[in-house]
Amino acid sequence: MKKNRDSWSSRLGIIMAVAGSAIGLGNFLRFPAKVAMNGGGAFMVPYFISLLLLGVPLVWVEWTLGRYGGGFGHGTAPGIFHSIWQKNRFIKYFGVIGIFGPLVIFSYYLFIESWTLAYSVFSFLGKYQLITDQQGMKAFLSGYQGLTQNQYFSSIMPAYTFFLVTFIANIVIIYHGIKKGIEKFCRIAMPLLFFFSVILFVRVLTLGTPDPLKPDWNIVNGLGFVWNPDFSSLLNAKVWLEAAGQIFFTLSVGIGVILTYASYLSKADDVVLSGTTAISTNTVAEVILGGTIILPAAFVFFGPNDTQSVANSGIFNLGFVTMPLIINQLPFAQIFGFAWFFLLFLAGITSSVSLAQPAVAFLEDEFNISRKKAVGIFAIVAFILCQPAIFFLKNGVVDELDFWGGTFFLVLFATVEVILFSWVFGMNKAWDEIHQGADMRIPRIYRFIIKYITPAFLFIILGVWLFQEWLPLIMMKNVAASDQLYILLTRAGLLFLLCVLAGLVHFAWKKRKIPQRS
């Protein structure tokens, strides 16, 4: 006998949860770096084009597919895809990616998320307040990560302790379910996140000129450094690919999370308005807040040349090296440091709990087991999967996991989704399904965009990537010889995980009856 599925308590709850899934570390760390590295304000041209032609359509597609599949009792991509195309016995295996991707991302994202919790504590206690240069702050970070032993950290145990605390916090939230766990937490976490973001936003905008000998190093020029466009960069295909990738990353599309969240909606719930509101919330957090905190502040204190170096030095250095140095020069540095890292922690945990939900929902829905047992199984498996990212960070394992789980399979999955939605399900039926219970109508031009433009955009991204990057990647051209064994083992582990998930899908469907839509 099928048990009743969990549900959201309100439209606000689902919007907060989906916005929480989308608003993550990428909004405050990845986005400003991509802007500065790819032509400043010119980056926003392909960014908004990608948002309108790729992000917005895919969000509506995933909300609609998720709600439709949830009516058949399915909360993950294998079941949802099967509901759309029941005559095709293989389509459910493409849906495996919608469980595989979030699980892989969770396996390394959680460790990075735990750094933000640790640095919140370190900031409040003033643990790194006496460090005054980038070299010292980099040493602090590498010592904490366990990459080196130095005067700051003699082992990886502090980092591992914060990882355990973060892991347990995630599991506790997931354990309490959709309504009493994820939704309840996001209703508290999201307003707090915006509160800390606005405090830092206002503080950055009110920065003076710390060096009177360099009056050009001011906040107005800092904003100009980020937003003034270099239109020549638009001729570079890489800029367009980077913009499209940022849209995927920031909206959590192509991962499978929105499918799962939307599966807990009823047929009468409005996916158009809810999806649009979640997109708007995320875009404000990213473009207005995320784009105005780090880089303008860096410009004021370090000037244009060093700020460009900061942007190119990597996401981790931007958030965990440069920003603490900036905050250390402000009054009430400990409070502002805590605000910065705690908002990153809140952004991280609202995203990571969403990454866990597809695997838990798959166990609940397809094997008809209790939430308690499903979360227990997930916790054991996820804990094991997290270990390589912690102990082999220096060997490139996290980068490898991020590429397959958070880049390649993400684009591939989105391509399958949109083809299935607009060509298999059929655009007429799909259009009616989108507007079921809707208070607003989607502009009719999106019928054409979803059916033709979005798939073409995705095929171009895949095609260009295959042409430019496939062979060097497979041959590990850019991997140090000492790390190649670790990369091969990581790939073997990912292939094994993919096969296990496919096997579970096969086993779940072997004797199942085709359910009717509720």
pLDDT the model gives residue 224: 86
pTM: 0.92
- The answer to whether the beta carbons of residues 255 and 102 sit under 8 Å apart is yes
pLDDT the model gives residue 215: 86
Neighbours of 91 (CB within 10 A): 20
pLDDT-derived band at 316 (thresholds 50, 70, 90) equals: confident
pLDDT per residue over 317-349, tens digit each?
A: 888 988 999 999 889 999 999 999 999 999 999
Report CA 68 to chain centroid distance, whole Å. 24
pLDDT the model gives residue 282: 92
Answer whether residue 190 shows pLDDT above 70.
Answer: yes
pLDDT the model gives residue 11: 82
pLDDT per residue over 212-234, tens digit each?
A: 888 889 999 888 888 887 888 88
11-510 folds as Hydantoin permease (1.10.4160)
Which residue(s) pair with 229 in the sheet? 40
- The Cα 262–Cα 69 span in angstroms is 9
330 secondary structure, DSSP code: S
pLDDT per residue over 38-64, tens digit each?
A: 877 888 899 999 999 999 999 999 999
90 secondary structure, DSSP code: S
- The Cα 228–Cα 466 span in angstroms is 32
Answer whether residue 480 shows pLDDT above 70.
Answer: yes
pLDDT per residue over 264-281, tens digit each?
A: 998 888 999 989 998 999
> Which percentage of the chain shows pLDDT scores above 70?
98
Report CA 403 to chain centroid distance, whole Å. 13
pLDDT per residue over 130-166, tens digit each?
A: 998 889 999 999 999 999 999 999 999 999 999 999 9
pLDDT-derived band at 486 (thresholds 50, 70, 90) equals: very high
Amino acid 481 reads A
- The Cα 503–Cα 181 span in angstroms is 30
pLDDT the model gives residue 516: 55
- The Cα 349–Cα 518 span in angstroms is 32
Which residue's structure tokens are 């579970």? 504
pLDDT-derived band at 406 (thresholds 50, 70, 90) equals: confident
- The Cα 265–Cα 71 span in angstroms is 8
pLDDT the model gives residue 243: 86
pLDDT the model gives residue 517: 59
Which residue(s) pair with 40 in the sheet? 229
Answer whether residue 518 shows pLDDT above 60.
Answer: no
- The answer to whether the beta carbons of residues 279 and 55 sit under 8 Å apart is yes
Answer whether residue 102 shows pLDDT above 70.
Answer: yes
Q: Which residue has the higher pLDDT, 207 or 466?
A: 207
Return the domain boundaries, the chain. 11-510
- The answer to whether the beta carbons of residues 88 and 81 sit under 8 Å apart is no
Answer whether residue 472 shows pLDDT above 90.
Answer: no
